[in-house]
Amino acid sequence: MDKMEHPAMPEVKRIDVAYAGAPAGSKMLIPTPRLIDAYLRQIPPAQTVAPEVMRRNLAAEQSADFSCPLTSGIFLRIAAEAALEEMGSGRSAEEVAPFWRVVDPKSPLAGKLSCGRSFVEAQRKQEKEA
């Protein structure tokens, strides 16, 4: 199964207990890797967006109060690794989801990516200089 395809559709659930700073009764978005991929592709070159801002924006787009930080992080990593696989298959940085615009090179996530922190730093620097 392709990780980018599961889950297939984003889901908004009402939470029964407080979670991630949101009170009980809030509507929580459970995004998808494809939803995050599409969000990444709309960020202009040389701009960065904090993961928290991405989550807020995605929640607003889906009429939710907040996005689940756990699944958002997991699916951001899936989208990033998919972009790296595409680059490994010959696609250019301009043709893939620019995950480096959301993934901070100093973040734990950057350290877990197969490309490492230096790639994220290099992509950000290259876009700023362009």
Domain limits at 74? 3-129
| Structural domain count of the chain | 1
Which CATH number do you get for residue 74? 1.10.10
**pLDDT value of residue 130:** 84
pTM: 0.95
Neighbours of 41 (CB within 10 A): 14
Residue 1 has pLDDT above 60, yes or no: no
Q: Is residue 36 classed exposed, middle or buried when 0-12, 13-18 and 19+ CB atoms within 10 A define those classes? A: buried
Question: pLDDT, tens digit, for every residue of 50-91?
Answer: 999 999 999 999 999 999 999 999 999 999 999 999 999 999
Q: What is the pLDDT of residue 72?
A: 98
E strand or H helix that includes residue 27: strand 27-30
Distance, in Å, from the CA atom of 67 to the CA atom of 81, rounded to the nearest integer, reads: 21
